[in-house]
Amino acid sequence: MIQTVLNFGSSRSPNKDTPQIGRRDPDETSSLGDTLLPDSGMDYEMENGGSSKLDSQTSIASADWPPSQTASEATQAVLSPAQEAMKRRKVLRCIAGETSTFLPGILEMAPWAPPNGYLYSPSKISQLNPKYCPCFHKTSIRVHNADSLDTAIALANCSKYVTVRDKKPVCVLNMANAFHAGGGWKNGALAQEETLCYRSSLSFTLKLRYYPLDDLQAIYSPTVLVIRKSIDDGHGLLSLNKPEELPVVSVISIAALCEPKLAAKKIPVPNSADVHVKEVFRNGADRDLTKDKIRMILRTAAYNGHRRLVLGALGCGAFLNPREDVADCFAEVFSESEFGGGWWESIIFAVMDDLEEGKDGDGNYGVFYRKLHGMMV
């Protein structure tokens, strides 16, 4: 088996400050085509008297975030965590406004990437039929401490992961908000869904008529155009004068359970008197529903012919799902006969190390790495 080392970008974890999904915010549910104007605390001026010039050099993404200061300036201007969060939100609101302004013009130049989104439900997708399986050799699941889009772009660019049979873009899981299209991206929030919206045309594919999403509904966006670099690279615009070179991914948006009831399960440690306390779903119905959501993701991807997947720690951030139990749910679903037999050529979990403890730690990355990394599917 050939293994390839990929550069999947930075491992810095975004903050998980997305609004609670049960609260309906009129600003969040307004038309995604409308431009969000930044607040008066931040200057926002386009070149040429306000025109949205499509030039990577005009992006306000180069605004002072993270702040570039000399050592003496940094000593004199130490911000509190609350001030840092407020400053970051202001910049991200401007990024959202600029993205909303630029995208219509960019999409006009990229007719091969229309902002379409299709609602899928269990009634539309049944169990996978093995006669349509491409019958790849089993693949080893990889878990990387990396950003979802950076992982997808690196995977698409790696020729060792591409076959002549696979003409589809890499398919990325969007861990979505069931009530607000794009989550809190227009208000400067920074969970996984928001990071996708800041950098791409995803928000334009999340049609408001589909919301709120039912428990097992998913939105499939076949062509999502990536127009920005990651937050660690200042959210700078990519080269827009060559739209044909902009990365394109597909996205499946599905919402995890929000703040399910949890329980502590004591598990004896082998060859030790110690006991490991594992957080799990208190209600078996919640666990079963989570597994059904995972099946919906995999069926939607396979139904649309995707052979390369970038998945994530579904619900294990702001929605407070139990990370170990969710990782177990993924492993159990991948072990089912329906999803065996070679449906996928490559499966990567892009999981930010929220606790920065590495693969042996107790954060999302460590838990998913130990459970899923190397699992054959």
- DSSP labels for 79-106? PPHHHHHHHHHHHHHHHHHHHHHHHHHH
Residue 117 has a CB neighbour count (10 Å cut-off) of 20
165 φ, ψ to 5°? Answer: -80, -15
The mean pLDDT value for 2-31 works out to: 38
Residues in a beta bridge with 267: 276
The mean pLDDT value for 229-239 works out to: 95
**pLDDT over 70 at 3, yes or no:** no
- Tokens 């045309």 -> residue: 201
| pLDDT tier for residue 52 given thresholds of 50, 70 and 90 | very low
For the chain, percent helix, then strand, then coil, each to nearest 5?
A: 35, 15, 50
Long-range CB contacts for residues 257-263, cutoff 8 Å, separation at least 24? 257/286, 257/289, 257/290, 257/315, 257/319, 257/321, 258/20, 258/21, 258/22, 258/178, 258/315, 258/319, 258/320, 259/319, 259/320, 260/286, 260/320, 260/321, 260/322, 261/286, 262/320, 262/322
Residue 27 and residue 186 in contact, taking contact as beta carbons nearer than 8 Å: yes
- Is residue 190 a part of any domain in this protein? yes
Higher pLDDT, 267 or 303: 303
Range of the domain at 181: 114-372
State what percent of residues in the chain have pLDDT above 90: 72
Residues in a beta bridge with 250: 171
The two most distant CA atoms of the chain are separated, in Å, by 71
Which tokens sit at 198? 């800041």
**Rounded to a whole number, what is the distance in angstroms from the first to the last CA of the chain?**
14
Nearest to 14 by CA among 234, 195, 200: 195
- Is residue 47 a part of any domain in this protein? no
- Is residue 27 a part of any domain in this protein? no
Segment (H or E) for 351: none
Q: What is the pLDDT of residue 159?
A: 59
Distances in Å between the Cα of 221 and the Cα atoms of 102, 161, 343, 359 are 19, 22, 20, 32
- Is residue 154 a part of any domain in this protein? yes
Give per-residue pLDDT as tens, 144-175. Answer: 999 999 999 999 998 555 555 567 999 999 99
Distance of CA 260 to the CA centre of its chain: 21
- C-alpha torsion 44→45→46→50, nearest 10: 120
73 φ, ψ to 5°? Answer: -65, -40
- Is residue 179 a part of any domain in this protein? yes
| pLDDT tier for residue 78 given thresholds of 50, 70 and 90 | confident
| pLDDT tier for residue 268 given thresholds of 50, 70 and 90 | confident
| pLDDT tier for residue 23 given thresholds of 50, 70 and 90 | very low
d(Cα 171, Cα 221) in Å, to the nearest integer?
9
CATH of the domain at 299: 3.40.220.10
State what percent of residues in the chain have pLDDT above 70: 77
- Is residue 74 a part of any domain in this protein? no
- Is residue 109 a part of any domain in this protein? no
Which tokens sit at 1? 């088996």
Q: What is the pLDDT of residue 46?
A: 32
The mean pLDDT value for 247-262 works out to: 98
Domain count, the chain: 1
Residue 1 has a CB neighbour count (10 Å cut-off) of 7
Distance of CA 230 to the CA centre of its chain: 12
Residue 8 DSSP one-character state: -
d(Cα 357, Cα 362) in Å, to the nearest integer?
7
Higher pLDDT, 122 or 76: 122
Higher pLDDT, 7 or 185: 185
Residue 46 has a CB neighbour count (10 Å cut-off) of 14
| pLDDT tier for residue 368 given thresholds of 50, 70 and 90 | very high
- Is residue 41 a part of any domain in this protein? no
